[in-house]
Structure 1
Amino acid sequence: MDITAKTILLTGGTAGIGQELARQLKAKGGTVVLTGRNIERLDAMRGEGFETIRADLSNAAGVDALVAELGEREIDILINNAGQLIAYDFRKGAPDADATDDGIYANLQAPIRLITALMPTLKSRPEAAIVNVTSGLAIAPASRQPIYCATKAGLRSYTLALRHQLARTGIHVIEALPPVVDTQMNADNDLSKMPAAECARQIVTAIEKNSAEANIGQVRMLRVAESISPALARNLMIRF
Structure 2
Amino acid sequence: MMDLSGKRVLLTGGSDGIGQELARQLKSKGAEVAVTGRSAKKLAVMAGEGFRTIEADFSHSGGVAAVLDAWGDAPLDILINNAGMGRDHDFRKGATATSDIEENIYANLTSPIILGARLHDNLKAGHAPMIVNVTSGLAITPSNTGPLYCGTKAGLRSYSIGAREQLRASGIHLLEALPPMVDTQMTAGRDGNKMSAEDCAAAIVEAIQQRREEAPIGQVKLLRRIHSISPALARKILLRF
TM tier, smaller: over 0.9
Q: Which runs of 5+ in 2 are unaligned?
A: none
- 2: CA distance, partners of 1:82 / 1:191: 22
State the one-letter code of the partner of 2:12.
T
SS in 2 for 1:95: coil
Q: Distance in 2 between matches of 1:20 and 1:54?
A: 18
RMSD: 0.9
State the Cα deviation string for residues 49-91 of structure 1 (Å, max 9, x = none).
1110000111123212210111122211000000000100111
What is the match of residue 58 of structure 1?
Answer: 59
Relative to the length of structure 1, the TM-score reads 0.98
Helix, strand or coil at the partner of 1:176: strand
Runs of 4+ in 1 over 4 A off after TM superposition: none
Question: Could you tell me whether the CA contact under 8 Å between 2:18 and 2:200 is conserved in 1?
Answer: yes
Alignment of 1:154-173 (within 5 A): 154-173=155-174
User: What are the residue-to-residue correspondences of 1:70-81 with 2, within 5 Å?
Assistant: 70-81=71-82
Shift of 1:189: 1.0
How far 1:43 moved relative to its partner? 0.4
SS at match of 1:168: helix
Seq. identity, % = 55
- Corresponding position of 1:130: 131
Cα distance in 1 for partners of 2:79, 2:97 equals 31
**Other-structure match for 1:49:** 50
CA contact (8 A) 1:17 1:197 kept: yes
| Partner in structure 1 of residue 14 of structure 2 | 13
**Partners of 1:71 and 1:202 in 2: how far apart?**
30
Work out the number of aligned pairs and report it.
240
Give the secondary-structure state (helix, strand or coil) at the position aligned to 1:82.
coil
Counterpart position of 1:91: 92
Residue 124 of structure 1 deviates from its aligned partner by: 1.8
Q: Tell me the amino acid that sits aligned with residue 105 of structure 1.
A: Y
Q: Specify the code of the residue in structure 1 equivalent to 2:149.
A: Y
Shift of 1:94: 1.5
Q: Specify the code of the residue in structure 1 equivalent to 2:8.
A: T
Question: How far is 1:169 from its partner?
Answer: 3.3
Quote the offset at 1:190 in angstroms: 0.4
Shift of 1:93: 2.0
- Higher mean alpha-carbon deviation, 52-61 vs 137-146, is at 52-61
Find out whether 1:202 has 2:203 as its counterpart.
Answer: yes
Report which stretch shifted further, 46-55 or 85-94: 85-94
- Residue 231 of structure 1 aligns with which residue? 232
- Aligned residues of 1:122 and 1:128 also touching (Cα < 8 A): yes
1:173 maps to a residue whose letter is L
> Contact 1:126/1:170 (CA < 8 Å) preserved in 2?
no
Q: Is the 8 A contact 2:64 2:115 kept in 1?
A: yes
SS state at 1:206 partner: helix
1:126 aligned partner, one-letter code: H
Distance 2:33 2:99 in 1: 32
